[in-house]
Amino acid sequence: MGLDNYTKVVYGWKITGKSVKNITEDLEDVCNDEYDSDTYDILENFTTEDTMCGEYFYFGSVLICYDAKEGGCEILDDNLIKKKQKDWEEMLNKYPKIKEVFEYYKKDKKPQIYVFQHIW
């Protein structure tokens, strides 16, 4: 069994510590109870969870994502950012209960750009 290794750029927020388990449980509850859907189906393009150790959880606009083993080069420009932000806003408008969960965990912090390797 090999590891998947993706390079990601996220414009959003990062959760660590006990909050990782809490946000994943809260999102699962909302998706199952309110939208009768699997969390992954709704949020696959907007979240990144450390499924191996539970040390981090990113949410927001995933600007870039590519397989690090295959390499890649992406252009991060205003058009890409606007498109991804539009997708994020549309998802939040479509799923207001999910928006409430994210608002709670943002704790009024401003979004940041995170560049990281997501390995699982």
Q: Please tell me the predicted confidence (pLDDT) of residue 71.
A: 79
Query: Rounded CA gap, 65 and 67, in Å?
Result: 7
> Does residue 1 register a pLDDT over 80?
no
42 with 35: CB under 8 angstroms? yes
DSSP structural state of residue 76: -
Q: Which residues of 71-107 are buried (b: 16+ CB within 10 A; e: fewer)?
A: eeeeeeeeeeeeebeeebeebeeebeebeebbeebee
Q: What six digits make up the tokens of 75?
A: 């252009």
Q: What is the pTM assigned to this prediction?
A: 0.90
Task: For residue range 70-118, list pLDDT tens digits in order.
Answer: 877 888 999 999 999 999 999 999 999 999 999 999 988 999 999 999 8
